[in-house]
Structure 1
Amino acid sequence: MDWDKLRIFHAVAEAGSFTHAGDRLNLSQSAVSRQISALEDSLNVPLFHRHARGLILTEQGETLNRTVREVFSKLSLTQAYLSESKIKAKGELKITTTSGFGLGWLAPRLERFMTLHPDIEVGLIMEDTDLDLGMREADVAIRMHPPRQADLIQRHLANFTMPIYASRSYLDQHGTPESIADLAQHSLIGFAGASPPLPDAFWLIELVRRQSHGSVRNRLSINSYPAIAIAIANGAGIGSLPTYLAAAHPDLVRVLPNEPVPTIEAFFVYPEELKMSKRITVLRDFLLGEINPGKH
């Protein structure tokens, strides 16, 4: 298979039309169409269903595009690694993490990191679902669970707990609970959604329900931990937050401080191909220097 034809095929598959792919590749629509027809002839399979409204990959086209996307991604990763200085950290560094950790902990510290490393261009992608590092959706991830992909390198960063918090105004108005069972009489704020970014997202609601043997006033459910933190800080109710996010709201009051709470393990994760990358090394060292596990 010809590499140029595969490059053009991938562009067409991603764009969904010969015209849009041609614009990206600086080729005419007819030139792109000829290259795709030649590739289909050489493989003896149709790669696209041609419709008036655009192109749709055939089953064979889907299979080829998955492979081509992976190959080009690996080539891009290798190119970035080979062109990177081994002495000075420079170039683009795409970091992905959860919205809670990104907003509450990482974003406020990025200015300090960029001052230390002025030749690094940082891209922060906050997603509560895991991006595919192997496909170059990001260079490095900070995740609140061990990586599930076997080909990724992981470094344990820190443990964070998930205490129970309320605002002073809420406690002044509704009283301070003295036990988990007491929380059943309060307005609880919890996570909403089938795919929470933290492993123990529902622990407090479930514990209160078990210990109170009755209904729980889960009056507010939100699918975003930063939004939950804002709601608690503004007196909407009581809820559990990771300490790295609660720290962004210094007026929060810890409720039932002697009760055991879940622990979140944070991991620094990156592809095997980047294990010698200077950009990855300096970011890892910066994060370890910023995080003091004894405070969490």
Structure 2
Amino acid sequence: MNWDDVRIFLAVARAGQILGAARRLGINHATVSRRIAALETSLKTRLFRRTTSGSELTEAGERFLGVAERIEADMIAARAEIAGDGDEISGTVRIGAPDGFGVAFLAPRLGALTARHPDLAVQLVPVPRSFSLSRREADIAITVERPTEGRLVAAKLVDYTLGLYASREYAEQNGLPATPRDLTAHRLVGYVADLAISASLDYAAEFAPAWNARFQISSALGQTEAVRAGAGIGILHTFIARSHPDLIPVKAVPPIRRAYWIVYHETVRPLQRVQAVTSFIGAEVEKAKALFV
């Protein structure tokens, strides 16, 4: 079995379409189609079902996916072993993270990692969305829940808190609520509930059963900026709010606690660059632990 054909199969399975896989691999889509056809011929079965929206795995394709991922893991491990245990860290690592943690915490710190390893390229994708590690949308993901499915390696990074905040200007003009019931008399800034990437991030009811934010923003950083501008009272990440002296805590409701996890697919475990980035993030979080709670 040709490893290149298996590699192309994995790209199509993860992208869900031949054109997307071709772009990711940097080769012509006709070549991708031809190599998939050759693999199907050698296996004497159809691996993909062509649809108007792309390529779906057949039942045989689903079974072969597990085999292909084990082959991929062996190839990665073999290359890592041949490369040895030298100090050189090279290649590209993509990190998917929630926008608050990604921009406010990771972005100012990752430059030190790339300065330490000149041959390492780090791609930070800090957006409010979930990332599929099995589809290789990221090499490392920061999540707010521990994954329970898939061949993933997960470790808890840190607990963090979210609390109510208002700008000093808003407090001076409108006062602050003393109880959760008083929140109904205030302008509220919130998130777009149906775009929350995790059930654990749909937490408004923990602050007020009748939470009714007329200004909703899908980005944690966007909510912070709106509250700073006096748009109302919002539920903000404590570690972000603390960096803005113009924000004050609203003590009508105590903060709630959540957690960040660092996750990667088990097939990339042998890669030195993945381990280097994972270790760096863990060390930086540990140094700043008091910031989060």
* TM-score band w.r.t. shorter chain: 0.7 to 0.9
Q: Root-mean-square deviation (CA), in Å?
A: 3.9
Question: 1:283 and 2:283 equivalent?
Answer: no
Gaps of 5+ in 1: 210-214
Partner of residue 241, structure 1: 236
Amino acid at match of 1:245: I
Q: 2:113 & 2:138 partners in 1: Cα distance?
A: 18
Q: 1:250 & 1:84 partners in 2: Cα distance?
A: 49
Amino acid at match of 1:264: R
Question: 1:268 and 2:267 equivalent?
Answer: no
Q: 1:74 & 1:225 partners in 2: Cα distance?
A: 36
Alignment of 1:1-296 (within 5 A): 1-6=1-6, 16=18, 24-25=26-27, 38-46=38-46, 59=58, 63=62, 66-67=65-66, 70=69, 73-74=72-73, 77-78=76-77, 81-82=80-81, 86-88=85-87, 90-91=89-90, 92-149=92-149, 151-197=151-197, 200-205=200-205, 207-209=207-209, 216-256=211-251, 259-273=253-267, 274=269, 277=272, 278-280=275-277, 282-293=279-290, 296=293
Q: Structure 1 residues 173 and 80 mapped into 2: Cα distance closer, same or farther (>3 Å)?
A: farther
| Percentage of matched positions with identical amino acids | 30
Q: Structure 1 residues 58 and 198 mapped into 2: Cα distance closer, same or farther (>3 Å)?
A: closer
Q: Structure 1 residues 101 and 69 mapped into 2: Cα distance closer, same or farther (>3 Å)?
A: farther
Worse-superposed segment, 242-251 or 6-15: 6-15
Assess if the C-alpha contact under 8 Å between 2:97 and 2:141 holds in 1.
yes
Q: What secondary structure does 1:96 align onto?
A: strand
Assess if the C-alpha contact under 8 Å between 2:193 and 2:202 holds in 1.
no
Amino acid at match of 1:240: I
Structure whose alpha-carbon radius of gyration is higher: 1
Q: Structure 1 residues 186 and 73 mapped into 2: Cα distance closer, same or farther (>3 Å)?
A: farther
**Displacement of 1:262:** 0.9
**Displacement of 1:155:** 3.0
Amino acid at match of 1:157: L
Q: Structure 1 residues 287 and 76 mapped into 2: Cα distance closer, same or farther (>3 Å)?
A: farther
Q: 2:207 & 2:135 partners in 1: Cα distance?
A: 39
Which whole-Å deviations, capped at 9, do the CAs of 1:252-272 have from their partners, x for residues lacking one? 111117x42211112233344
Q: What secondary structure does 1:108 align onto?
A: coil
Q: What secondary structure does 1:146 align onto?
A: coil
Amino acid at match of 1:222: I
Q: What secondary structure does 2:201 align onto?
A: coil
**Displacement of 1:227:** 1.2
Q: 1:26 & 1:208 partners in 2: Cα distance?
A: 54
Q: 2:27 & 2:76 partners in 1: Cα distance?
A: 21
